[in-house]
Amino acid sequence: MVRKNLLVVILAVLFLISILSYVLAVDDMIALQGNVEQAGVAVGSGNLTVTIYDSESGGNVIYNSTTDFNNAVVNGKYDVLLGNGTNELHLEYGRTYYLMVYVNNEKFSFGGIDRQKFQSSSGQINASYINP
């Protein structure tokens, strides 16, 4: 009887370990939408490139959409899901990141700043965000 119970416990643990990898493998995705104008006129169509850095200048590239959003600008608008293409998005919850956006290889300016600062509302939650 003890052997049967031990076997059941071992099988249950192995099952939980096998599904744990699927639970932890959830990718981050962030919706990004906006309007694109040049000299006050909507850009008809274009390619969108999004890069996320861990620093306001220099720093490491955390995400680069490369060609995932080619032809994403239509009638001056874009609506994309970062992390839903060929490049995965891995962010840390609550951490500050810096977004750089290009349309047809021309860099966006965020009020004269090259990179837009944002704090991730998705991603892995680390112990530093949990109060004891």
pLDDT of residue 67: 92
pLDDT of residue 121: 78
DSSP string, 83-130: TSSSS-B--BTT-EEEEEEEETTEEP-BTTBSSEEEE-SSSBPPGGGS
- Residue 102: CB partners within 8 Å, gap ≥ 6? 48, 49, 50, 51, 108
> Which residues, in sequence order, are bridge partners of residue 38?
41
Return the structure tokens found at 78: 């874009």
Task: Report how far apart, in Å, the C-alpha atoms of 51 and of each of 7, 44, 55 are.
Answer: 50, 22, 12
28-72 confidence digits (pLDDT tens):
888 999 999 888 899 999 999 999 999 999 999 999 999 999 999
Look up the pTM and report it.
0.73
What is the distance between the alpha carbons of residues 14 and 5, in angstroms, rounded to a whole number?
14
4-18 confidence digits (pLDDT tens):
666 666 766 666 666
